[in-house]
Amino acid sequence: MSSTTAADAFPESPEETSLGKRVLILVMVVLGSTLYATTLLIASTLLPQMQGTMSATQDEIAWAMTFNILATAVATPMTGWLAARFGRRETMVWSVFAFTVTTLMCGLADSLETLILWRVLQGALGAPVIPLSQTILLDTFPKRQQGLVTSIFGMAVVIGPVIGPTVGGMLSEIYSWRWAFYMIVPVGLISFVGLRLTLPYDRPTGRISLDWTGFLSLSVAIACVQLVLSRGQRLDWFESTEIMIETFIAVLAFWVFLAHSLTTDRPFLNLRLLLDRNYAIGLVLVLIYGMLNFTPMVLLPPLLQQHAGFPDALIGEVIAARGVGATIGFFLAIFVGRMDPRIGLIGGFAVQTLSGVWLMAIDLNVDMGTLMLNSLLQGIAVGVIWVPLTLVTFSNVSAANLAEGTAVYHLLRNIGSSFFISICVAEIVRATSANYSRMVELVNPFNRALALPWVTGGWDFETMLGLARLSKEISRQSAMIGYINAFGLYTACSAMAIPLILLIGRRARR
């Protein structure tokens, strides 16, 4: 091998790389990962506007969120294979470029189907950015600086999902929801050029074969479950032939995945890692963490805009408070990390439970102060949980299995978000319809309570306009009950995690 080829195959060590070059790599990698994290929830504050533009129902427009997260979840485990096949530099650079192009196309979408298609491609093609960013930074900086670099990277990933809804909400109110996507394009192109100029060359490590049977069977199973959860309420669940077919395919595909993974020599995901108790419990906890992480950010914007009358800018401020809380939680985690990790986990999930109970007590007259303080608590919990959760999950995982273990870790986090959002939206739709039917039955001439002036208040039952206004109010209150039910699921999942934390092994390797 020539000297040039050798240099390409083995990039400079951290000590050989100049400080200026390391800083440039840090800036560009963090910029790319922040942009990708920004788009994960950018649609959260835009859902009401997009719903009107696309003439979609609430559960249909939620696909723009859930299928993006789902595509990210399915594509993330392929990162290791892509990096080995094409090299980390090429995978990272072209993932950022593809992500930027698909973001532009999301803004140009003129139908619900087109928007969902580009959101799926946006999530799938950009999925390698986050895991590769962390790998590149750890290889670029010496061990003595990796703690600081990891902190900066962690802050970018935490703040990214907050920047998108906040700035996107303001732009959508001033212009339209499309500008929330357009704003990312120029910065994405800067990141693409910067990464191409700063990242060191590396050659692919070899033509590593991908376990296509395991990958495709798992992908089909996840996609079919997502379709069942997203469309089940609208199609009356198992009264629908489509839902029955999708359920059958999901079960069959998952059975193929399990059977294949347990019998092949090189499975797509090594299920034997689950024999480690801390790792297995950590995966359950990160699944719950994913369920709780993004759900309030998806549910609150439609509730506040459509039923409570909040403008997009104020909704963005509520989401921004969550980002401030996440920043505080991230710094608190530095100090909590010096103690038993279980203390941080229990404290974080306890705060999540408290915020959920608080959300269950709000009504349509809720004020900004209450919402922002609640959002702040959620953010603190998210920041505090992440570090000890990662610590205990990988405490006994060997270095040889670390890459695969990390892929499964992020896979379950994203699946938890996607599935739980769909479940909550289905419950809101179900509860809204059921409670509306129950309440309108009470508006009739035979209800003696309606004859009392202090009961009817300012409502007019004698005119069509008065009845229309009453119907709208009943719709608002029915929807509020649905959202309270969804917040109840959020609270129950938060509380359910606490007993599991007590099962974590005491002797975790640091």
pLDDT along the chain (510 residues), means of 10: 39 59 81 77 72 76 76 78 80 90 90 88 87 75 65 68 71 81 88 86 68 85 82 79 91 92 80 84 90 82 82 75 82 75 89 92 87 90 83 74 71 81 86 88 77 68 78 88 93 92 67
Question: What per-residue confidence (pLDDT) applies to 474?
Answer: 87
Question: What per-residue confidence (pLDDT) applies to 256?
Answer: 93
Question: What per-residue confidence (pLDDT) applies to 101?
Answer: 93
Question: What per-residue confidence (pLDDT) applies to 496?
Answer: 92
Question: What per-residue confidence (pLDDT) applies to 354?
Answer: 93
> Position of tokens 């034997």?
272
Contact between 333 and 386 under an 8 Å Cβ cutoff? The reply is yes
Question: What per-residue confidence (pLDDT) applies to 6?
Answer: 37
Question: What per-residue confidence (pLDDT) applies to 17?
Answer: 61
Report the CATH number of the 275-443+450-510 domain.
1.20.1250.20
How far apart (Å, rounded) are the C-alpha atoms in residues 106 and 100?
10
How far apart (Å, rounded) are the C-alpha atoms in residues 227 and 225?
5
How far apart (Å, rounded) are the C-alpha atoms in residues 90 and 273?
30
Question: What per-residue confidence (pLDDT) applies to 5?
Answer: 38
How far apart (Å, rounded) are the C-alpha atoms in residues 480 and 396?
45
> Position of tokens 């309606």?
450
- The pTM assigned to this predicted structure is 0.77
Report the CATH number of the 1-210 domain.
1.20.1250.20
Question: What per-residue confidence (pLDDT) applies to 489?
Answer: 93
Three-state DSSP class for residue 431: helix
**CA torsion 156→92→38→402, rounded to 10°?**
-60
